Amino acid sequence: MKNIDKSFPGVKALDDVSFQLKAGEVMALLGENGAGKSTLMKILSGIYTADNGEISIGGRKTAGGLTPQKAREAGVVMIHQELNMCAQLTVAENIFLGRELTIGPFLADREMRRRAARALDRLSLDLDPDTIVGDLPVSKQQMVEIAKALDQGGRILIMDEPTSALTAREIEDLFGIIRGLRDEGHGLIYISHRLEELRHIVDRVTIMRDGRFITRLDFAETTLDQIIAHMVGREIKEQFPRVPGRQGKKVFEVRNLNAGRMVRDVSFELFEGELVGLAGLMGAGRTEITRAIFGADPKDSGEVFIDGKAAEIKRPTDAIRAGLALVPEDRKKDGLCTGLSIRENIALPNLDHRLVGPGGWVVAAHEADLVAATMTDLNIRASSPEMSAGNLSGGNQQKVVVGKWMALPSLVVIFDEPTRGIDVAAKVEIYNLMNKLKQSGIGIMFVSSEMPELLGLADRILVVCDGRITGELSAAEASQQKIMELAVKFESKAA
């Protein structure tokens, strides 16, 4: 790709960007959220058309720009960060969606199931091709997306945050597949904010910043600190900024909470000015616990106390009124209205006495002040508050999801995977916000699948296994080994 330009209304997304990929290599494409990585790859896969520049694949220039079909015919396949699954269809139907096999006028269902099973087997995924995709957890849906891409047999495979919803075992299997594809001569483009995983698979690194090409490096000759400095344009001195907190009174308590199959007799306490991590393996029930507490899912039994008072929480509005906020795991599904503007998203939970004047009308000046302060405090990068939230980068979308809750007078804030899919600089900004809330006396709980994040930030760590809290560790005594021992406690017992 040479001298690629791309603009959207009010935004110069790509400015004279060049990119190269060789057969038989894994190239990491790195940069902060909003650097232009996904836009560049959407041009390569035919989703967007470049304003200027040229693309050559296999030594041949692509005349007239690429469409998705032309890109596939040229051997380009992209696995998107946001899953593109039809939830009501089967695994096999999703894998062959848009390129169905036929026998005359009829669908070749048996052959599609056979090929789908073969693609799933390459991923060591024990999954029936007739399973309805909507019944699968997000991690399995991600693996189906990868199986779909493998079946298309592309020479150039683009992976945009492919491990964000995978378990450790699934990630290990995926890396084995990537190495195998590389050895077969495929070129792979790997986009990820989990820099520590690059050492397992990456040969070279291309770094972008603010829509521009910055540098290209051999990974073996580069340190992670150098990569981060190129990404953000400065050195980040402390990746996990821990701040001291003064533990106050008990502000939150859950007693004997039960909800469905994945929340079993959960009890814990949270104090003012405390940052508590919730650890566990994927599927352990961490998100289910947060949703049951917040009233997003019905609870079977149990009590919740906020500031010493019993809180009757049957729905999210009850939780908000009681002083509880939840930043959900799936920002697109549960946290953001992508069809609305940044302003409208930030204002939504605050459409009461804070923004509404006499007669029930929104006071535009109050709304503008709130939105401007939130965008400044969280460094939300956008041309205007009226920009559609759906057009923001993943990291800026996450900041909007966080920001809309910050104006509420909450006593307790729960963050569920607050840094999933965002870059290292945006992560530090989220950490600083959590620390700021902690120092103001708010009780903070956060769910995380990243062990360094838990160890680097939490004052205490609660570990979940099989829907139960199996142990508690202070910051001083916590280690990866101790967390993992507690995270498999019930699984080991069952085995």
Upper half-sphere CA count for residue 79 (Cβ side, 13 Å): 30
Please state, for a pLDDT cut of 70, what percent of the chain lies above it: 97
CB 15 within 8 A of CB 212: yes
The model's pLDDT over 468-481, given as tens digits with 9 standing for 90+, comes to 999 999 999 999 88
**Residue written as token pair 């990868």:** 146
The mean per-residue pLDDT over the stretch 219-226 comes to: 90
Residue with the bigger pLDDT between 427 and 50: it is: 50
Token pair in block for residue 493: 């017992």
pLDDT over threshold 50, residue 492: no
Tell whether pTM > 0.75. no
Q: What is the mean pLDDT of the chain?
A: 88
pLDDT band at 234; cut points 50, 70, 90: low
pLDDT over threshold 50, residue 62: yes
The model's pLDDT over 279-312, given as tens digits with 9 standing for 90+, comes to 987 778 999 999 999 999 999 999 999 999 999 9
For residue 75, how many other CB atoms are within 10 A of its CB?
16
Q: Which amino acid type is present at position 259?
A: A
pLDDT band at 169; cut points 50, 70, 90: confident
| Residue-level pLDDT at 494 | 39
| Residue-level pLDDT at 110 | 94
| Residue-level pLDDT at 27 | 97
The model's pLDDT over 243-275, given as tens digits with 9 standing for 90+, comes to 877 778 999 999 999 998 889 999 999 999 999
**β pairing state of 56-57 and 60-61:** antiparallel
Cα Dmax for the chain: 73
Report which DSSP code applies to 116.
H
The model's pLDDT over 342-367, given as tens digits with 9 standing for 90+, comes to 999 999 888 876 788 888 888 889 89
Cα-Cα-Cα-Cα dihedral sign, residues 21, 227, 83, 263: positive
Domains of the chain are 2-232 (3.40.50.300), 250-494 (3.40.50.300)
| Residue-level pLDDT at 493 | 43
Token pair in block for residue 214: 């910055």
| Residue-level pLDDT at 381 | 82
**β pairing state of 187-191 and 204-209:** unpaired
**Residue written as token pair 């790709």:** 1
Q: Under 8 Å CB-to-CB from 243, ≥6 apart: which residues? A: 435, 438, 439
| Residue-level pLDDT at 379 | 83
The mean per-residue pLDDT over the stretch 419-446 comes to: 86
Report which DSSP code applies to 219.
G
| Residue-level pLDDT at 495 | 38
Instruction: Cite the DSSP H helix spans in 16-108.
Output: 37-44, 68-73, 91-95
| Residue-level pLDDT at 391 | 83
Least confident of 109-118, 242-251, 312-321: 242-251
| Residue-level pLDDT at 235 | 62
Residue with the bigger pLDDT between 371 and 163: it is: 371
pLDDT over threshold 70, residue 377: yes
| Residue-level pLDDT at 112 | 95
CA–CA gap between residue 419 and residue 432 (Å, rounded): 12
CA–CA gap between residue 304 and residue 37 (Å, rounded): 43
**β pairing state of 187-191 and 25-30:** parallel
| Residue-level pLDDT at 340 | 93
The model's pLDDT over 80-111, given as tens digits with 9 standing for 90+, comes to 766 778 889 999 999 999 889 999 999 999 99
The mean per-residue pLDDT over the stretch 203-218 comes to: 94
